[in-house]
Structure 1
Amino acid sequence: MFVLRSGLTRALAPRQLAPQMCSSFATGPRQCDGTFYEFRTYCLKPSKMSEFLENAERNIHLRTPHSELIGFWRTEFGGRLNKVFHIWKYDNFAHRTEVRNALAKNKEWQEQFLIPNLPLMDTQDGEIIYLMPWCKIEKPPKEGVYELATFQMKPGGPALWGDAFRRAIHSHVNLNYAKLVGVFHTEYGLLNRVHVLWWHESPDSRAAGRHLSHEDPRVVAAVRESASYLVSQQNMLLIPTSFSPLK
């Protein structure tokens, strides 16, 4: 209902209401194509890391023709130990379904990789992730270590916190405190979660960059703005495997 100047009232037609109801939600970055990434985390039984990675190195060639492997790492620090983390790229959901069906019928993959490795695992976790529209995956200049920083943001999605988060990330990048590989947000998994993948020359260079950034007022101001939308955060130091495309 709305009030006319004469004091009379009348009901708005449904077609008049619809644009007003939708407009407040139609802001923020969009996923412009079907491309997405799958983050896979496997928690292995203690002492089984070497066996798993040796098996993966021998047989990963059976998997990579189906979809692109972005990177494959083992965790060094952060949270539970004995974890491997890997990222796969898909053109769309139909592509992922095709890949999963093909692998289920691939006896060589099943017998040489999947069946031997399943007893080595305690848990498997997966998330479907979109790359933020304002970044692309950047390959580091040389071999190093990686840091996956995960931020749980307040409900509302990138339309609410995206701009502030972008400024916080760019404050580190533009001042050369860290090398950005990619920024991702969840589509399936815990929502309003953002993963930032950084590259560092070494754990010590990472520590030195962090110390300098914490004393830089430009970074502090940008991070403080983004932190108003933050619920929690955590990180992992990742060591690339011998067969990881990202080294």
Structure 2
Amino acid sequence: MAAVTRRYFGAVLQQPLLASCSGRSTFIQTPNARCLTKSADLQDISEGWFSKLLVRKIEPTKESHSRMLSDKQVIYALHTHNIRPDSYDKYLNNYSQNVALIHSKKQDLNLELVGSWTVEVGDLDQALHLWQYSGGFQIVDKAQNLLAKDEDYQKLLKERGNYLRSRHLQYLLAFSYWPQIVLREGVNKYEIRSYSLKPGTMIEWGNNWARAVNFRRNNDEAFAGFFSQIGRLYNVHHIWCYKDLQQRKETRESAWRSPGWDECVAYTVPLIREMHCRILNPTSFSPTQ
């Protein structure tokens, strides 16, 4: 079987060549190719569909995946808080004060809130807060050192512990091919789709979604796309914004009618170990609504 080499984001991907329905050679993009193949052609293929997934490989590189996938010196922190059901209002009041305090020291911390949400569908009694550090991990270190010495911040932090069942923090980088984050106004619902990928597949994910996101960018619902740097690794988060659930339904159905979208989805499915989505509502103090 002949093979060709393509280069994306500095990584080398190898893909096999097969005879297509039209008699020309073409790339296999998914294990279940859309075209019809003659039985004679199938006899020439000794490998099963599963083994074809393993043909595409990424050759060793001296650059980290994060440098190839992200071109911004901006760190995002995604805080996930699981709230005690009997302390919901107290928690939100506490976190609102936390946001106001940090923003009052914004110039020193180089830290600001991008979005704050509570979960409507999915993991209930949960809140997500997305913060942005401008200036790399040295700014993260500086901000954490300053907040560790701030008595008002530490008081709020200690109080908040009474309202939580558990919490988790991830430091993220933004995918370079996603649109720049634009804060929304009005009434909106957000969806965060979280993926746990197989180790070593982040470049392949980026190669495919660099094309896939273009199928939906014109609808203005692409809010942000991130991959984890610290915390749970090989995690990807795509955040979408819709006016309501009906618009979400219509937008997703429209994407499936776009030529190429189904191939990008089929090509990335084998890279996923686990995925889930949550529907989010902005809090009253969220900068994006």
Scaled to the shorter chain, the TM-score interval is 0.7 to 0.9
Q: Distance in 2 between matches of 1:72 and 1:226?
A: 29
Aligned to 2:153: 109
Q: Which runs of 5+ in 2 are unaligned?
A: 1-58
Equivalent position amino acid for 2:78 in 1: F
Aligned to 2:238: 196
Please give the secondary structure, in 2, of the residue aligned with 1:133.
coil
Aligned to 1:11: none
Q: Distance in 1 between matches of 2:259 and 2:185?
A: 28
Q: Distance in 1 between matches of 2:154 and 2:196?
A: 35
- Tell me whether 215-224 or 41-50 shows the greater mean CA deviation: 215-224
Aligned to 2:126: 83
Q: Distance in 2 between matches of 1:107 and 1:84?
A: 24
Q: Which runs of 5+ in 1 are unaligned?
A: 1-22
Deviation readout 1:138-181 (Å, 9 max, x if unpaired): 3336431111111222322432321112222322334x3x6101
Aligned to 1:10: none
Identity of aligned residues (%): 24
Q: Distance in 2 between matches of 1:30 and 1:172?
A: 20
Aligned to 1:125: 168
Q: Is the 8 A contact 1:151 1:195 kept in 2?
A: yes
Q: Is the 8 A contact 2:114 2:131 kept in 1?
A: yes
Alpha-carbon spacing, 1:141–1:226, altered in 2? closer, same or farther (3 Å): farther
Say yes or no: does 1:187 pair with 2:229. Answer: yes
Please give the secondary structure, in 1, of the residue aligned with 2:288.
coil
Aligned to 1:55: 94
Alpha-carbon spacing, 1:168–1:232, altered in 2? closer, same or farther (3 Å): farther
Q: Is the 8 A contact 2:194 2:235 kept in 1?
A: yes
Aligned to 2:13: none
Q: Distance in 2 between matches of 1:188 and 1:57?
A: 26
Q: Is the 8 A contact 2:69 2:203 kept in 1?
A: no
Q: Is the 8 A contact 2:69 2:206 kept in 1?
A: no
- Return the offset for 1:224: 1.5
- Tell me whether 59-68 or 35-44 shows the greater mean CA deviation: 59-68
Q: Distance in 2 between matches of 1:243 and 1:101?
A: 25
Aligned to 1:71: 115
Deviation readout 1:171-224 (Å, 9 max, x if unpaired): 2334x3x61011111111232221101100012221232334345554223211
Equivalent position amino acid for 2:73 in 1: G
- Return the offset for 1:25: 1.8
- Tell me whether 136-145 or 69-78 shows the greater mean CA deviation: 136-145
Q: Is the 8 A contact 2:215 2:258 kept in 1?
A: no
Equivalent position amino acid for 1:55 in 2: N
Alignment of 1:1-247 (within 5 A): 24-26=60-62, 29-64=68-103, 65=106, 66=109, 67-78=111-122, 80-90=123-133, 91-111=135-155, 113-135=156-178, 136-140=180-184, 142-174=186-218, 176=219, 179-247=221-289
Count of aligned pairs = 222
Q: Distance in 2 between matches of 1:52 and 1:192?
A: 30
Which aligned segments of 4 or more residues in structure 1 are displaced greater than 6 angstroms?
Answer: none
- Return the offset for 1:125: 0.2
Q: Distance in 2 between matches of 1:38 and 1:171?
A: 28
Deviation readout 1:31-69 (Å, 9 max, x if unpaired): 445321111101111121111112222342111223111
Q: Distance in 2 between matches of 1:242 and 1:75?
A: 14
- Tell me whether 51-60 or 26-35 shows the greater mean CA deviation: 26-35
Q: Is the 8 A contact 1:168 1:226 kept in 2?
A: no
Please give the secondary structure, in 2, of the residue aligned with 1:100.
helix
Equivalent position amino acid for 1:25 in 2: T
